[in-house]
Structure 1
Amino acid sequence: MKNASQLLHAYLDNIQNPAAAAALFADDGVLELPTLSSLGINARAVGPAAIEAFIGGLLKNVPDFRFKDVQLFIDTEDKVFGEYSVEAKVLSTGKVYKQTYAGMLAAENGKIKHLREALDTLAAAKAFSPD
């Protein structure tokens, strides 16, 4: 059974495969990016199917989306907190999306119960908005 750190690394490593990334979540697992609500975006998905669709939608617009530079600051059996970065071109705007995420993952029974991520909304708005 995977612990929180192993689950986070597996999620980050599998972000290019929405089905594999989503399969790491519990049936009622949650992926949310609450800071995006300030941009009018509902970035909350519950359950593997919704999470797979959410990640797949992102990859359609940012196909080279990959996480790098993972640093963990809190690492226990059932919770992990860290930062990780991404730098990839947004197809709809032609701009580079350069971002550092802060993520907190809670694990339960070897699955992701909750992954909550924060990000710089100004950087996201600039990359995803046409001039």
Structure 2
Amino acid sequence: MRSARGLMLAYTATIADPDATAALFADDGVIELPYLASIGLPPRIAGPDEIRAFIVGLLKMVPDFGFDHVAIFIDTPDQAFGEYSVDRSTVTGRPFSQTYAGRLVAEQGKIKLLRESLDLVRAARAVLPNGVADIPAHG
């Protein structure tokens, strides 16, 4: 049975393979990306099928998406916290350079929860047609 650390390493290694990545998640496993709500996207992707579809969509925007420089800072049998970076180009040729922070909760050898954060402004500049101008104003 994989530990949280093993699952985080597997997730970061297989992110470019939607089927392999989705298979790491429990049937009720989720990825939470709270920052996506600010650009009108669902902040919670639940279950292997939705996770697979999300990664397929990500790969359409950043075809050679992959994580580099994985560092795990907290490592217990059922939780891991780490940072992992990506430095690629989008389909439009814009740079997509991020450092993600992720907290992973494991249950019975599968990912139950992966909550990630990144710099939304940098992501918007890379993938939205008008960059940060496409982020809805709040207030």
TM-score under structure 2 normalisation?
0.90
Deviates more, 1:38-47 or 1:77-86: 38-47
Which residue of the partner structure matches residue 25 of structure 1? 25
In the aligned structure 2, how far is the partner of 1:6 from the partner of 1:126? Answer: 32
In the aligned structure 1, how far is the partner of 2:128 from the partner of 2:39? Answer: 11
In the aligned structure 2, how far is the partner of 1:22 from the partner of 1:45? Answer: 11
Which residue of the partner structure matches residue 102 of structure 2? 103
In the aligned structure 1, how far is the partner of 2:98 from the partner of 2:6? Answer: 22
In the aligned structure 2, how far is the partner of 1:112 from the partner of 1:98? Answer: 25
Runs of 4+ in 1 over 4 A off after TM superposition: none
In the aligned structure 1, how far is the partner of 2:100 from the partner of 2:69? Answer: 10
Runs of 5+ unmatched residues, structure 2: 131-139
In the aligned structure 1, how far is the partner of 2:50 from the partner of 2:38? Answer: 21
Which residue of the partner structure matches residue 34 of structure 2? 34
SS in 2 for 1:73: strand
In the aligned structure 2, how far is the partner of 1:25 from the partner of 1:61? Answer: 23
Which residue of the partner structure matches residue 75 of structure 1? 75
SS in 2 for 1:107: strand
Give the share of equivalent positions with the same residue, in percent.
57
TM-score under structure 1 normalisation?
0.95
Give 2:110's aligned amino acid. K
Which residue of the partner structure matches residue 124 of structure 2? 125
Asked if structure 1 preserves the Cα contact closer than 8 Å seen for 2:3 and 2:77, the reply is yes
- For the aligned residue pairs, the C-alpha RMSD in angstroms reads 1.0
